[in-house]
Chains A and B, each alone.
Chain A
């Protein structure tokens, strides 16, 4: 999991949480959560189709969404990778 984020005072103003797998020495994205557009968005990736359209996964603040994204990846990364492999 790759995490980066930006803060201003108590607010998270941007973040990017990426679940990656390593294949043949290359890092490939499986899932991306980000706050780039001021919303908590999720992009699924598939092995064949690449990046899928954004879905809003949380309507709370970016700080809440970011923590939720980390928790989701920590709890469900195996299923996410399986899903990525099967599509």
Chain B
């Protein structure tokens, strides 16, 4: 018997060790990625990078200022499109929803969530770029905004449902109309969670490249307004990484570092600020 229990204890310990190794391996990949980017990307971080436009190949001193601003503009448009639709649809599902339409909305939100980003890019190309006959920041932001909708919608609905019904009943008991209770009581109670979801959605789409290839295209210059092609960090990284010029590779690393930094900061900030709410988000 003691041989068998010795074997069992040994197995127990070794599985503990093995799963610990797996966990450490998984996490160390993250540190490897971060470290590698900091090492290679950090070499080229300079004032030039953040303020200059790209130069023709072979000329030193170019930067990616237009891509950084471009990414900011794309995220702005995506927020304008994705956040209201997502939040208000979530409000509908949680507060006003009828049975059949709610079912369809949830179903299609799931569908949309699973659509590969390249397919969304094709869609945005077909309905915005082709009729307008030019690439634009708007088209790119639209594609990204669509991708944000399901994420924000689900989270908004969950957070609103988590608001205790006593809050709503209290409002009604005071004679407040339904929309007023929702607007002034329920939504604010869930607002920190909703904002957390919005920020995470932004972090998620900040790195998307595929939908931008056919919509925002790219631009070697500044792109004023929202109606012209625009450079963006992910597309620049892709273009420069697959090219042969060493200057391009160096810039791709630095751009990667900036992009990853943005995504990590958004994620970490969200979770730190909304730490308690995050438990509910899971």
- The answer to whether A binds B is no
| Chain B residues in the interface with A (C-beta under 8 A) | none
